[in-house]
Structure 1
Amino acid sequence: MPVDLSGGSIPAIYRDLYEMINLHGLEKLTFTIFVPLFESDTLAQAVLNQIWYSVTKSSSIGSRNDFYKCLALMALAQQGKTIDEKLLDNYVNRVDKEFIEERRRSLKRYLLILCRHPTIYDAEIIKFFLTFQGTSCGDNMKATYKNVLDEFSSESQSSLNLNDNIDKCGEDYDSIRMFRASQTHISFLHQQLNQIRRCLKSINEKNFKNANDFANLGNNLQALASDSTSIDRWATGPNDYWPTIQIGLGSLPIEINAISERVNEQCKRNDEVINDHLDMLIELLQGYNDLCKRLEETLENERKAIQKANNQQRRSSTITDTTPKNDISLEILEKRNRHALQCVQIETQLVYANLEAFVYILSSLGNSQCKGSSDFFNIWKSFADEISRLGQTYITKSPIDRRDTTVYRK
């Protein structure tokens, strides 16, 4: 699992491991589980013990950030580095910066979703959050809005009773059926977009590595061009290729470094599209899925409440003085859930309306590839021209010129 962390980005495998473990609750990852889970020929128990207590002083992992720190240090230990405080400062702090930047981007995306919402954007609590100055914003929000009524409670009774003469039973059944069909489809979209994100992230991480490889290639060419080793004719005979080639190599690192810079620029463009646009669309779909789960729980609770009320009515059917209290409670419950279903319908339409962002995402990635390909073509063309001139330089030289340019000892 050795991973080069010099790029300062969190590898996709770290995120995947976190998602797998967090399914069961990150707090359940204790030291007694951590050691057998990651112990191997290259990660002894003593090393894992050192890593664990370098990152966390408690009996369990406290946060995603700490989990990433452990993985980063394990990767470095597998590369043969000694785990100490200096290593923690030099490498793990880069993960800290990446984690903080991800949180900042996540908050930005969340606020964009709220501010673009046709109903929520004008809510007083949103205005409060965006204009609040000072400390303890969360506590002030709770104190200010703890007694504010929800949408259903603040809805006028006339609007709730407007269509009471319609057969609500059949209407609700159709709405629930269409809701569940949309829920299944949007869940499928969420799954596929997550897969697309993983693919794009993986491609981008490989391209970042390619940029580093091109930079190293440029350094290697520069080392060859500046080599001052003198070689006897005993080794080369009449062959004078190397001195001329070596002179020509001096301009090639410029082209190779330009390739490295363009790859990095393209990766940053793609990363921006993924983090600022694709992630926001995925989070919108995830939020919808969470909303659907809450509605499903509400509908299930309603079903149980109706069943319980019906059982009570059957048991008390012999009593002549029945109270309409249960009927009133059930009626309010049904109206509340009907109102919730209408709200979910609006959210469903909002999700489908926002899917146009996927066209922008694909278009941006395509334009980025076109610009990158154009830049790469021009640079590689210049590189090929340099190589062609290098070959022509040797061919057009007279034997005397070739002999005079040699640096070999006779």
Structure 2
Amino acid sequence: MDLSGGSIPTIYRDLFEMINLHGLEKLTFTIFVPLFESNTLTKTVLNQIWCSVTKSSAIGSRNDFYKCLALMALAQQGKTIDVKLLDNYVNRVDKEFIEERRRSLKRYLQILCRHPTIYDTDIIKFFLTFQGTSCGDNMKATYKNILDEFSSEPRSSLNSSDNIEKYGEDSDGIQMFRTSQIHISSLHQQFNQIRGCLKSINEKKFKNANDFTNIEKALQTLGSDSTSIDRWATGPNDYWPTIQIGLGNLPVEINAISERINEQYKRDDEVISDHLDMLIELLQGYKDLCKRFEDALQSEQKAIQKANNQRKRSSSITDTSSKNDNNLEMIEKRNRHALQCVKIETQLVYANLEAFVYILSSLGNSQCKGSSDLLNIWKSFANKISQLGQNYITKSPIDRMNTIGLRK
């Protein structure tokens, strides 16, 4: 059982790095005890943990160290010290990790396939249609000599008037970028708020499903209670023994309610995790891109100003002037290319906003289905409850005298 990978708590990793600075082999039991001893983790408990993990005089690996920490956590919870308990934890963590990775990969591929430029590129087609092993290695071998868009762009042959016109286009582009940036930032904020509310609502569904399961168990206990009650306690009222018989039939509906709510929770969680999260991640990625782009613009503007100053100072020296012109041309090329990339990414964001309608539609359909299912179950439940009361009302005096579960 290996605990060295996967979802290891950060504090475990930090502790390991601190101790490993001095050499893990120096962590003997003599040092181990005073390091972790507490009211709960007594020397006896720590000795039991140590012997469960290692038979040597020192901790032999990162994995053993993590096992010790995990067993200490279990001991502090009052659980038995047993390395086998870690198997369940590892299996659960692995499943959660794999599922989260699967969802993340699915979201990433959806973004790529909806990208207005990337979706039709050869490398994406290669990845999606590749059959066999070592897809990554084959991709590198196939496309390692392919130049990117910036490197393959031809050198500018624009004259001064063209440059002025191009500069005007870039200025307009930057202005439109800033407008889109503000709008998308607002969308990101509102979508995040909606996500938080939906998560909260859905978590309540999960709790409600568990609560109904507990109600089901309680009704089963009530319906199967075989306690005989004396007339001394009930007097002429035999209502409880009469309806108790019918309580045994109610858990069927309560269980169905719990299952329907749980199904709706899973449906809504899938919509939130697979679609709304993807949209929010896309918007967050765009915000990060905007930040990098603005930082790059500021840096490039300083470089342009510096190059212009150098050109003014060295206008009489042909070689230096030519070099400065080349530098300026390269900076302008980078700026134009970066702006074009941001433009494409902006279009990607707006192209994916239609997913929000799908999200709302899916949630609406889920609510309709859930409400319809629950309505039918609650009707059945209400009919049974009504029948319980009716059974008591229509009960004859003789039947009341012979009520099951009631001693005369």
Taking structure 2 as the reference length, the TM-score comes to: 0.78
| Residues 191 and 242 (structure 1), Cα distance of their counterparts in 2 relative to 1, 3 Å cut | same
Aligned residue in 2 for 1:110: 108
1:320, CA displacement in angstroms? 6.4
- For 2:181, which of 180, 183, 190 is the aligned residue? 183
Instruction: State which drifts further: 100-109 or 365-374.
Output: 365-374
Distance 1:159 1:253 in 2: 81
Check whether the contact 2:222–2:247 (CA below 8 A) recurs between aligned residues. yes
| Structure 1 residue aligned with 2:271 | 273
Q: CA deviation at 1:159?
A: 10
Within a 5 Å distance, the mapping from 1:370-385 to structure 2 comes to 370-385=368-383
Alignment equivalent of 1:219, drawn from 210, 217, 220: 217
From 321, 324, 331, the equivalent of 2:322 is 324
Deviation at 1:30, TM superposition (A): 4.1
Partner-residue secondary structure (3-state), 1:352 = helix
Residue equivalent to 2:246: 248
Secondary structure at 1:85 match in 2: coil
Aligned to 1:10: none
Aligned partner of 2:149 in structure 1 is: 151
Q: Take 1:28 and 1:180, find their aligned partners in 2: how far apart are those partners?
A: 41
Report the Cα distance in structure 2 between the residues aligned to 1:389 and 1:320, rounded to whole angstroms: 103
Per the TM alignment, residue 57 of structure 1 is displaced from its structure 2 partner at its CA by: 5.8
The answer for the alignment partner of 1:93 in structure 2 is: 91
1:264 paired residue number? 262
CA contact (8 A) 1:160 1:335 kept: no
What letter corresponds to residue 333 of structure 2 in structure 1?
Answer: K
Q: CA deviation at 1:114?
A: 1.0
Q: Given residue 267 of structure 1, which amino acid in structure 2 is its aligned partner? A: Y
Instruction: Provide the residue aligned with 1:12 in structure 2.
Output: none
Structure 2 gap segments, 5+ residues each: 1-6, 19-35, 55-59
- Could you tell me how far apart the structure 2 residues matched to 1:92 and 1:223 are? 36
Where does residue 366 of structure 2 map in the other structure? 368
CA distance in 2, matches of 1:131, 1:45: 58
Is this contact kept in 2: 1:240–1:406, CA < 8 A? no
Shift of 1:183: 1.7
Separation in 2, partners of 1:163, 1:121: 36
Match of 1:195 in 2: 193
Q: Which residue of 2 aligns with 1:172?
A: 170
Residue 274 of structure 1, CA deviation? 1.1
From the superposition, tell whether residues 366 and 196 of structure 1 become closer, same or farther in structure 2 (CA, over 3 Å): same
- For these two proteins, the number of residue pairs brought into alignment is 373
Distance 1:370 1:321, change over 3 A: closer
Cα distance in 2 for residues equivalent to 1:374 and 1:380 = 10
Structure-2 change in CA distance of 1:139 and 1:185 (3 Å): same
Flag the 1:321–1:222 CA change in 2: closer, same or farther, 3 A.
closer
* Percent identity over paired residues: 75
- CA displacement 1:57-105 (0-9 Å, x = unmatched): 649x99xxx9xx97x996x777644464333222442232122111111
CA distance in 2, matches of 1:159, 1:243: 97
Q: Is the 8 A contact 1:73 1:88 kept in 2?
A: no
Instruction: Note the alpha carbon deviations across 1:179-209, whole angstroms, 9 max, x for none.
Output: 1232232123223323322332232222112
Cα offset, 1:27, TM superposition: 10
* C-alpha RMSD of the superposition: 3.9
Task: Give ranges in structure 1 of 5+ residues lacking alignment.
Answer: 1-14, 34-38
Q: How does 1:118-157 map to 2 (within 5 A)?
A: 118-155=116-153
Judge conservation of contact 2:304–2:331 (CA < 8 Å) in 1: no
CA distance in 1, matches of 2:62, 2:193: 35
Q: What is the aligned partner in structure 1 of residue 353 from structure 2?
A: 355
Question: 1:3 is matched with which residue?
Answer: none
Query: Hey, what's the Cα distance between the residues in 2 that align with 1:409 and 1:298?
Result: 88
